[in-house]
Structure 1
Amino acid sequence: MDFHIKYITPDIKLSTYEDKLFKTENVFEFHMLVWFISGETKIIQADKSYVFKAGDIFLIPRNHLATIINYPKNGSPHKAVVMHLTKERLKEYYSNIEIKQKKLSGESKIYSFTQHPLLESCLASLIPYFDIKETFPDHIASLKITEAISILREIDESVDNLLADFEEPGKIDLVHFMEKNYMFNMPLERFGYLTGRSLSTFNRDFRKVFETTPQRWLTQKRLQLAYYHLTEKHKKPSDVFLEVGFEDLSHFSYAFKKQYGFSPSIAR
């Protein structure tokens, strides 16, 4: 795996990936503004999937589960500029702004600003700084992030619903959340956090409502989803295992055969 990250500040980075595929499942602790220079990214959320290509600009919300699959494309590496919009910086920004209509709904959608000239100019202006050996001045970094936030708000006023929402996850319905998000291969601690529970409380509540362990239930649900994709959608095992929450094709094939008595390669 050939993966490189350059930081000019902790909140502004340039990532380059030159291997065949890079997959991660994340709950980001801050919003991320991404400008795609080359390559391709597929982002899978519980109820929607997105594909982004060179030139696309998008905003990923914090505290929402997502599977992210990055690919090089057409001989070019997967390359992107990423800006972190932290809660601390956003609080400072919004402390001096009166929001016209503040309807905070916990919106989980990914905002797309494909090839918008103002945003692209803002993010492209960062490129030369990645080749400068001197320390990037904090006040310039702050100006760049403030500029990006201001442009986002100018393009789409509804982005305030996302950026000005500083609430942390509260205790929510466990069954609804798990039925919606079981395909994300996250540590149980993260599932607990997103449902407003400690790990011990999550495990206790889970056993109470599902009458089994989280690990067993998650494996069974992921295999059921894989079976649907293979038999009804006629997808290939190599296209399915990552999307349903498995990390390794051989492990997926073993678990699938153990569950259904035949290999996923003949399920189609």
Structure 2
Amino acid sequence: MDYQVNYINPEIKLSNYTGKLFKTEAAFTDHLLVWLISGETKIIQADESFVFGPGSTFLIPRNQLATIINIPKDGLPHKAVAMHLSAERLRAFYNQESIKQKNTVSKIFSFHKHPLLESCLASLIPYFEMQENFPENIASLKITEAITILSAIDKDIGSILANFDEPYKIDLISFMEKNFMFNMSLEKFGYLTGRSLTTFKRDFHKAFSITPQRWLTKKRLELAYYQLTEKNKKPVEVYYETGFENLSHFSFAFKKQFGFSPTTLQKIKTNS
């Protein structure tokens, strides 16, 4: 099996991936704290990208649209401990504290090789070997410990973790122009723009005079064409950065739109 996940409880897991790469599109409901043991993680967002190597610890805030690519490296699997920081846990923690809300941008937070945080997450490893159920009170203590350490090492983190607001209705055109390359369901796009699915479809047609599915495919293919011709990227690199399910689906849609395959375009570009 290329991909294996072991759970201490539903909120704490250890993943182990041995294939070529594992790609997922994300807009997590919970904040996700990750300690990367081996391998490499690349996170692609609309306006910036991040690459994390072994020993990195990072936080992906909830509702952040991103493409996440996990890659084994240096003969080792991609192995990581991930902890979900749910609204329920965070409300219980911050209920005792007064947090001044700042206009902090919700972004990927990096805590490279911080000893307190690394030791907290490393201490979870032995528990993944347990055969019996993991005691809930210990899991709760571990999550509280992690939140406490995050609050101690980054004074701005509380304004992100203690913000429980749901997405509000935002400008649809600017959001979609910025985030079309993420392979999310229309329901998720609607939620992130503060709309029901019905309202999202109605507002989308009013703004673009086309269905969301057709518009998304057109925009992703235009971006793929640009990356192939101007950035000299390979088709296998392009498809997972432009929101397509797999390489064959990308190649089929590309040829239907432009009359030739991404590979053919690459050869024309090389020989010109």
More deviation in 85-94 or 244-253? 244-253
Q: CA deviation at 1:238?
A: 1.1
Q: State whether residues 169 and 196 of structure 1, in contact with CA within 8 Å, keep that contact through their aligned partners in structure 2.
A: yes
Aligned-pair Cα RMSD in Å: 1.2
CA distance in 1, matches of 2:196, 2:101: 30
Residue 237 (structure 1) aligns with: 235
The reply to whether residue 181 of structure 1 matches residue 179 of structure 2 is: yes
Q: State whether residues 104 and 165 of structure 1, in contact with CA within 8 Å, keep that contact through their aligned partners in structure 2.
A: no
Q: Deviations over 1:226-264 (max 9, x none)?
A: 111111111111111110011121221222122222222
SS of equivalent residue, structure 2 residue 182: coil
Specify which of 248, 251, 254 is matched with residue 253 of structure 1. 251
Counterparts in 2 of 1:1-268, with a 5 A limit? 2-99=2-99, 101-105=100-104, 107-265=105-263, 266-267=265-266, 268=269
TM-score, L = length of structure 1: 0.96
Q: State whether residues 169 and 195 of structure 1, in contact with CA within 8 Å, keep that contact through their aligned partners in structure 2.
A: yes
How many residues are treated as equivalent by the alignment?
Answer: 266
CA distance in 2, matches of 1:231, 1:3: 34
CA distance in 2, matches of 1:253, 1:98: 53
Q: Deviations over 1:65-107 (max 9, x none)?
A: 11111111111111100111000110010000123x42154x2
CA distance in 1, matches of 2:171, 2:224: 25
Q: Deviations over 1:107-135 (max 9, x none)?
A: 23100001111101000001011111222
Q: State whether residues 183 and 244 of structure 1, in contact with CA within 8 Å, keep that contact through their aligned partners in structure 2.
A: yes
Q: Deviations over 1:203-235 (max 9, x none)?
A: 111111100000110001001111111111111
- Code of the residue aligned with 2:54 in structure 1: it is A
User: 4+ residue runs of structure 1 moved beyond 4 angstroms?
Assistant: none
- Code of the residue aligned with 1:247 in structure 2: it is E
More deviation in 242-251 or 86-95? 242-251
Q: CA deviation at 1:63?
A: 0.8
- Code of the residue aligned with 1:224 in structure 2: it is E
Q: CA deviation at 1:20?
A: 1.1
Q: State whether residues 34 and 57 of structure 1, in contact with CA within 8 Å, keep that contact through their aligned partners in structure 2.
A: yes
Q: CA deviation at 1:3?
A: 1.2
- Code of the residue aligned with 1:264 in structure 2: it is P
SS of equivalent residue, structure 1 residue 158: coil
Listed as ranges, the gaps of 5+ residues in structure 1 are: none
Q: Deviations over 1:182-214 (max 9, x none)?
A: 000111111111111111111111111100000
CA distance in 2, matches of 1:246, 1:132: 39
TM-score, L = length of structure 2: 0.95
CA distance in 1, matches of 2:231, 2:110: 28
Q: CA deviation at 1:21?
A: 1.2
- Code of the residue aligned with 1:137 in structure 2: it is P
- Code of the residue aligned with 2:106 in structure 1: it is S
Q: State whether residues 104 and 162 of structure 1, in contact with CA within 8 Å, keep that contact through their aligned partners in structure 2.
A: no
More deviation in 5-14 or 247-256? 247-256
Listed as ranges, the gaps of 5+ residues in structure 2 are: none
